[in-house]
């Protein structure tokens, strides 16, 4: 079973920040949080990952709570092209344990 | 990241036949994986393709139904054998790059079995 829970769907106005939450209350100290998105049945696209600290790249920001039991992916200025299913995944960083277990994800719809 | 291609991109097949899907990467990678995504569902890991040895299958998937080959560090195939309509899915390969240990996914193969 997936170790994460996400809202089934969310809407966001174009140009506004999209904040996608993820609950991973059973996360272990050696597990990363990864975010991917899947646009219209294409292959999932890697967005960002983190362990303890907040992370930012050209696509998004990842905010991880201090207890690491939840995180939020932030798309700072959502566009129509950001409409996709967003998956939050936890994965051990120990070498040899690379398996991803996908949950149901959040279907984000960006509205014009 | 790695550039990953899959062939075919889509196919329509008859019940009882088999289809082989190819996954090609533009650089050597440490690990390759095969996933299935049934209509309206999330991704499910089928197996890890091991270079030079038998693939490692997840619970519910068997070698007779989904034989996998990985002859080198840039190429793998997945065969869907004796197909039925329930095999209609998107099949995706992914690769793990050694440095970052992040999986990158191919574009997928859309299979419809009639």
Residue B71 is predicted with a pLDDT of 92
- Phi and psi at B98, nearest 5°, equal -60, -40
User: DSSP secondary structure string, B73-89?
Assistant: TTEEEEEE-S--GGG-E
Cβ of A49 within 8 Å of Cβ of B102? The answer is yes
Counting residues of chain A whose pLDDT is more than 70, the rounded percentage is: 94
Instruction: Report d(CA A8, CA A84) in Å as an integer.
Output: 12
B-chain residues near A46 (CB < 8 A): 1, 102-105
- Taking Cα atoms as reference points, which of B90, B108, B91, B87 lies closest to residue B13? B87
Q: Does A111 touch chain B (CB under 8 A)?
A: no
What average pLDDT does this structure show over A85-102? 81
Which residue in chain A has the smallest CA separation from B1?
A46
Per residue in A95-107, pLDDT tens?
A: 566 778 888 999 9
How much is the mean pLDDT over chain A?
Answer: 91
Residue B56 is predicted with a pLDDT of 92
Q: Mark residue B64 as left, alpha or beta (left: phi above 0; alpha: psi -120 to 50; beta: remaining).
A: alpha
Cβ of B92 within 8 Å of Cβ of A44? The answer is yes
Report for A41-50, A78-87, B98-107: range of highest mean pLDDT: A78-87
What average pLDDT does this structure show over A4-22? 97
Which distant-in-sequence residues (6+ apart) come within 8 Å of A11 by Cβ?
A108, A109, A110, A111
Instruction: Report d(CA A32, CA A25) in Å as an integer.
Output: 13
User: Which pLDDT tens digits describe chain B residue by residue (114 residues)?
Assistant: 789 999 999 999 999 999 999 999 999 888 899 999 999 899 999 999 988 888 999 999 999 999 999 999 999 999 999 999 999 999 999 998 766 678 999 999 999 999
A-chain residues near B1 (CB < 8 A): 46
Q: Does A17 touch chain B (CB under 8 A)?
A: no
H/E segment holding residue A22: strand A18-23
- Phi and psi at A81, nearest 5°, equal -70, -10
Residue A11 is predicted with a pLDDT of 97
Residue A74 is predicted with a pLDDT of 98
pLDDT of A26 > 80? The answer is: yes
* Beta-carbon count within 10 A of A14 CB: 15
What average pLDDT does this structure show over A42-48? 94
């Amino acid at each position: 079973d997936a170790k994460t829970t996400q809202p089934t769907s969310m809407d966001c106005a174009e140009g506004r920040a999209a904040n996608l939450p993820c609950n991973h209350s059973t996360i272990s100290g050696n597990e990363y949080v990864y975010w991917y998105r899947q646009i219209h049945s294409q292959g999932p696209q890697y967005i960002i990952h983190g362990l303890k600290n907040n992370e930012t790249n050209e696509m998004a920001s990842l905010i991880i709570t201090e207890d690491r039991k939840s995180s939020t992916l932030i798309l700072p200025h959502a566009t129509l092209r950001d409409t996709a299913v967003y998956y939050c995944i936890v994965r051990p960083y120990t070498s040899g344990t690379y398996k991803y277990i996908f949950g149901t994800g959040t279907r984000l719809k960006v509205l014009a | 990241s790695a550039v990953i291609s899959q062939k075919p991109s889509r196919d329509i097949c008859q019940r009882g036949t088999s289809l082989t899907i190819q996954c090609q990467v533009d650089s050597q990678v440490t690990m390759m994986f095969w996933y299935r995504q049934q209509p309206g569902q999330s991704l499910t890991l089928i197996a890890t393709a091991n270079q030079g040895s038998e693939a490692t299958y997840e619970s519910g998937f068997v070698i007779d139904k989904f034989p996998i080959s990985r002859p080198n560090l840039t190429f793998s195939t997945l065969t869907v054998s004796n197909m039925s309509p329930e095999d209609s899915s998107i099949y995706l390969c992914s690769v793990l790059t050694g440095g970052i240990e992040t999986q990158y996914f191919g574009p997928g193969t859309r299979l419809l079995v009639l």
